[in-house]
Structure 1
Amino acid sequence: MTLTLEWYDEREQEQDAKEAGWTELLERLLRLAGEAEGVESGVVSLTLTDNEGIRELNREHRGLDKPTDVLSFPMREPGGSDPEIHYDDEYETVEDELDGDDGLEADGFDPFAEMLGDIVISVPRMYEQAEEYGHSPERELGFLFVHGFLHLMGYDHMTEEEEKTMIAKQEAVLSKAGLSR
């Protein structure tokens, strides 16, 4: 079992050539963040959008009618127990589609992997912040992605202590990935 990144790009414009290495970078960050949190398997969905797309989500889910940089939507409650799963008879035939003893389909997809949650990043806002903070777009993208992942794991930054913990965890992962300030 492994951590998997599902990637969606909802932006209207074509992908910029400087974005070519983002998939590899984000998959590496997911692996490093997962290792740091002791998460060995699961699926994280990442959606890249524009300021209008994230503004709509921010308004709908947080009641804030303005764009933001990153939103996270965890699929499990922090500290909650995993739900008991019952499979209908039709799912008993899934084993026929599996490649080997590891339980993975022939294409490497694990049909039973836990969905950890969704991360949505506004690419225009990411570029603005990279320029504002004086670092690379990859550094800012990595920061936002790891920040979103930590929210999926139940971390928050509502208090000064929580914020210090979250920032330290983010910086440790980014440093391992070579994305230090």
Structure 2
Amino acid sequence: MINFNYESEFTLENEEAIASWLSAVIVSENKTEGEINYIFCDDEYLHKINVEYLNHDTLTDIISFDYTMGNEIGGDIFVSVERVLDNSKDYNTSFDEELKRVLVHGVLHYCGYKDKSEADEILMRSKEDEKLTMFHVEQ
């Protein structure tokens, strides 16, 4: 089950479409959907989590806590809406596209994809692009 929670003024306009797409992404990776909670927040909220739990004193767009067990993926994914907005400007893309990229990025981590090395990052970007295409096909 995919849940959306809000710790900021932001709310998704198309929760059902996003949840359906993310569910399809999980199936396309031969995984089973467990409970995935997205928590939308601001920079300050996510920064506190980054410092307290990860000992990183930086701003970030996403932090995920992975509770995957075997083939059933699940976890809590915190998303800074402020960071996504800034990144969309930096990468010259729409807020909607950048938000979908971040949302699928979290799920892809749960599916086993990493982004620490350059090779891993290239594969992650490729998978993000592939899964973003799935959203456009479904709509």
**TM-score (structure 1 length as normaliser):** 0.68
Q: Which has more radius of gyration?
A: 1
Partner of residue 13 from structure 2, selected from 20, 44, 50: 20
Aligned length: 137
Q: Which amino acid counterpart does residue 13 of structure 2 have in structure 1?
A: A
Partner of 2:33: 41
Q: Which amino acid counterpart does residue 124 of structure 1 have in structure 2?
A: E
Partner of residue 10 from structure 1, selected from 4, 7, 11: 7
Partner of 1:140: 98
TM-superposed deviation, 1:178: 2.1
**CA separation in 2, counterparts of 1:166 and 1:74?**
17
Partner of 2:43: 51
CA, structure 1 residues 161+115, in 2 after alignment: closer, same or farther (shift >3 Å)? Answer: closer
Higher helix share: 2
Partner of 2:77: 119
| Contact map agreement 2:32 2:73 (CA 8 A) in 1 | no
**CA separation in 2, counterparts of 1:123 and 1:149?**
17
**CA separation in 2, counterparts of 1:121 and 1:164?**
22
| Contact map agreement 1:73 1:152 (CA 8 A) in 2 | no
Query: 1:70 and 2:62 equivalent?
Result: yes
Partner of 1:86: none
| Contact map agreement 1:32 1:173 (CA 8 A) in 2 | no
TM-superposed deviation, 1:75: 0.6
RMSD: 2.1
Q: Which amino acid counterpart does residue 90 of structure 2 have in structure 1?
A: E
Query: 1:165 and 2:123 equivalent?
Result: yes
**CA separation in 1, counterparts of 2:108 and 2:20?**
15
| Contact map agreement 1:29 1:146 (CA 8 A) in 2 | no
**CA separation in 2, counterparts of 1:138 and 1:154?**
25
Runs of 4+ with deviation above 6 angstroms: none
Structure 1: 5+ residue stretches without partners? 83-113
Higher strand share: 2
Higher RCO by CA contacts (8 Å cutoff, separation 6 or greater): 1
Partner of residue 60 from structure 1, selected from 28, 52, 56: 52
CA, structure 1 residues 63+141, in 2 after alignment: closer, same or farther (shift >3 Å)? Answer: same
Structure 2: 5+ residue stretches without partners? none
CA, structure 1 residues 148+169, in 2 after alignment: closer, same or farther (shift >3 Å)? Answer: same
**CA separation in 2, counterparts of 1:165 and 1:115?**
20
**TM-score (structure 2 length as normaliser):** 0.87
